[in-house]
Structure 1
Amino acid sequence: MTEDRLPLAELLAKSGDGDFLRTIAESVLQIIMEADVEGLVGAGRHERSGERTTWRNGYRDRSLDTRLGTLNLKIPKLRTGAYFPGFLEPRKTVEKALVAVIQEAWIAGVSTRRVDDLVQAMGMTGISKSSVSKLCKDIDERVHAFLKRPLAGDWPYLWLDATYLKVRQ
């Protein structure tokens, strides 16, 4: 079974001053995943049980970008079936604010290299040019859908033509 309490003294001893919150966040998320997998498997780690449905099969590493920095998580693997935590989105950046900033920068005409500098200034590890393009693909699809929409019905318009001359008196 997983521990019910988080050993804060151990975490404080392991980490430096700046990494303390990030280490706590990693540990809390790891404990949540372990408890979730225990319920899915039907038995705790290294525990024998008659109601076990499957077995654990190691871990896979996954990094999670947050405001605290990049969290390095170990997602438990199962022999049969699959487990993916609900708080992570598969193959997507979790921070919606980061995605919104990247898309706004792209709309404003900021180059992909400058977007990488912007992401690093926000405290993340950086982002590749291809990742920026993939994130902004959604915007392209919406713009193309807007441009290709059918125009049915009457669309009244007003055409104005004027000449403005600035003269001195």
Structure 2
Amino acid sequence: FMRNALAHAGKSGRRVVSAFMATAFAQDTPEAARQQWRQVADQLRPKLPKLAALMDESEADVLAYMSFPAPHRTKLHSTNPLERLNGEIKRRTEVVGIFPKEAAITRLVGAILLEQNDEWAVQRARYMTLKTITAMSHDGFISVPAGAP
């Protein structure tokens, strides 16, 4: 979102706009973040109406991560891990080039995803674990196995 938003700011205003928008992400509560987001949009509206309109349209999507518990927010505010994973899948499938059957690509991508899952599982400080996600569950569908850390 920030890349798209800063494209509306022009080269000279990118730093200021980025700093303004960052104030919304620094808030502790979802209500405070929404209020700050609207305040920033209103401040930018006279000089950058297209950016303010973009902020109005995307407020719910951009601030959706604020509805999660505070410890999860730092892990959700960026799509970098997903972009990195998609890049790895692309890199490894381009090496093969043409797959003989659909099942072959399913096996390769499945293996890449399993490998990534294992990496994420051992990096507890960086990613959410099943144990931390279970605390958010309101139903019995998520459960932690007895031997889980």
TM-score with structure 2 setting the length? 0.28
- Comparing both structures, which one devotes a greater share of its residues to strand? 1
Larger radius of gyration: 1
- Comparing both structures, which one devotes a greater share of its residues to helix? 2
